[in-house]
Amino acid sequence: MKKFENFSQWFDKILFDADILDNRYPVKGFVVYKTWGFRIIKNIIEMLEEKLDETGHVPMLFPVIIPEDYFAKEAEHIKGFSSEVFWVTHAGDKELDRKLLLRPTSETAMYPMFALWIRSHADLPLKVYQSVAVYRCETKATRPLLRMREFLWNEAHTAHRDWNSAERHVREAVKIYDSVFKRLGLSYLIVMRPDFDKFAGAVYSIAFDAWNPDGRVNQIGTVHNLGENFARAFEITYEDIDGSHKYVVQTCYGFGVSRVLAAMIAQHSDDHGLILPPEVAPFQVIIIPVVYKGVAEEVYSYAREVYEMIKREGIRVHLDDSEDKTPGEKYYYWEKLGVPIRVEVGPKDQRERKVTIVDRISFRRRVIDLEETVKTIKSMFDEIIEALKERSERTLKEFIMDVFNEVSLRKAIEDRKIARVCWCEGLECAERIREVSGGEVRGHRIDIEEKPDKPCIICGKEAKKVIYVAKAY
């Protein structure tokens, strides 16, 4: 099964072989996260929440149920999500007087409470987050991790005194996500979404689009400036220093945990199986004794000594001393699970007080002295994440293709590329781009400055933006 030849089958095999999830739950779009997969998810969430805590966010937990009348208060918001919500209409056999829905996102769950909590400028900024499941009845074909009806994410919501304060915070939110994604070795485009495809109720939306081996992009995070739209709908006001009453300006942003896991699998893993960044791997090191008759006891004893030494340093390590599999079978098993480093301990290693270390990316073997083990492992962690990052960034560049006419645009998307296009910002031209390519206008980059050097690909008039076009999940 080849990653770049048949991504869908390759991806499903990785999910099964690496014990990430079971997709056989009897409700479409819902899955069971298995032990290995859920441990990875917990590590990703912990990494993100640590960064949010450092930047003054506070954790909360809001109900999964939202009343229909609250949901309907912001007109654009209900219009954007009404076709995707799961409704709760009955309790037992009794029809509810008030329709409820499962949160597709939590603006309308949180903001009635914001209106109660915020009274004065001293209450601002308010910055809260929660890590939860959200529910959207996707009408497209569901795909495990990439497009589901229940998916895991972290959402943060903030309120500020004015537009400038909210704008500064948007930049902070982008920086938070960018730093976490980079620690995971991912590469992506940071794009301003076009107005016709922004988050429902936002003034503007920023998205992180990660590349996928099948040429589609995977939106792993979004940041939105909501302006005063929700504040006016929910009457979220504060008393300023001069005694005047003003509406807060809000931001919100979502980190798609399920999709981030999908991006890590898709970008880093290979035809041998899963590859994990050391920071989120459930086991960062696996120790495998290589034993023969007559020396087993000495080798196992030495392996336990190596295990204890590594564990004392806070490294997540596991000793596979099971006796029902050969060393080769163990190598294969832990390679499929993506453990970053394998430590082999054989009779010669035991006699000479050495270990053999193998990394999951290159499978290069290194024989080192026992006392150098921890130092070498930590150094290899850095090498692994840098190698993953460099390889991922190189692949993203290979996916991007400059196109200058409709024929080359269509061919780029057919060839599973991400098209870079000059655009006049006209809605009709955007519709034509979508019609010709079969892809979506993802937006223009904000992480780097790009100025159009050609006319609009459709109408031939002066281009205002360099945009990216791709199929998306």
Each residue's pLDDT tens digit, 190-220: 999 999 999 999 999 999 999 999 999 999 9
Q: What is the mean pLDDT of residues 161-167?
A: 98
pLDDT band at 142 (very low <50, low <70, confident <90, very high): confident
Q: Tell me the two tokens of residue 367.
A: 């024989």
Closest by CA position to 249, among listed 309, 159, 189, 176: 159
Judged against a pLDDT cut of 90, whether residue 189 lies above it is answered with: yes
User: Could you tell me what percent of the chain has a pLDDT over 70?
Assistant: 100
pLDDT, mean of residues 437-452: 97
Asked whether residue 1 carries a pLDDT value surpassing 80, the answer given is no
Global pTM value: 0.95
> Which pLDDT score, from 0 to 100, does residue 187 have?
98
Q: What is the mean pLDDT of residues 102-107?
A: 95
CA end-to-end span of the chain: 22
Is residue 118's pLDDT more than 90? yes
Rounded distance between C-alpha atoms, residue 319 and residue 287, angstroms:
5
Q: Please report which confidence band the pLDDT of residue 458 belongs to, taking 50, 70 and 90 as the band edges.
A: very high
Beta strands in 229-331 (DSSP E): 237-239, 245-247, 249-255, 285-289, 317-319
pLDDT of residue 79: 80
CA triple 258-279-345, angle to 5 deg: 125
pLDDT at 468: 98
The average pLDDT across 221-237 equals 97
pLDDT (tens digit per residue) in 330-342 = 999 999 999 999 9
**Residue-level pLDDT at 72:** 86
Closest to 235 measured CA to CA, from 125, 123, 111? 111
- Residue 28's pLDDT band (boundaries 50, 70, 90)? very high
pLDDT for res 293: 75
How much is the pLDDT for 469? 98
Question: Average pLDDT, whole number, for the chain?
Answer: 96
Q: Is the pLDDT of residue 400 over 90?
A: yes
Which pLDDT band holds residue 35 (cuts at 50, 70, 90)?
very high
Task: Please tell me the distance from the alpha carbon of residue 253 to that of residue 242, in angstroms, as a whole number.
Answer: 31
Per-residue model confidence (pLDDT) at position 311: 98
pLDDT of 291 > 80? The answer is yes
Question: Could you say which DSSP state residue 196 is in?
Answer: G
Strand partners of residue 189 = 209
**pLDDT at residue 81 in the model:** 84
pLDDT digits (tens, 9 = 90+) for 58-71: 999 999 999 999 99
Query: Using 50, 70 and 90 to split pLDDT, how confident is the model at 83?
Result: confident
**Prior bond of 125 cis (ω within 30°):** yes
> What pLDDT does 75 receive?
75
- Looking at residue 452, its pLDDT comes to 97
Residue 455 confidence (pLDDT)? 98
Instruction: Decide if pLDDT at 299 tops 90.
Output: yes
361-390 tens-digit pLDDT: 999 999 999 999 999 999 999 999 999 999
Helices (H), 161-256: 163-183, 229-234
Average pLDDT score over residue span 83-110: 95
- Residue 258 predicted with pLDDT over 90: yes
* Contact status, residue 427 vs residue 434, Cβ threshold 8 Å: no
Which residues pair with residue 341 across a beta bridge? 285, 359
Contact 302, 351 (CB under 8 A): no
Domains parsed from the chain with CATH numbers: 7-268 (3.30.930.10), 285-380 (3.40.50.800), 400-470 (3.30.110.30)
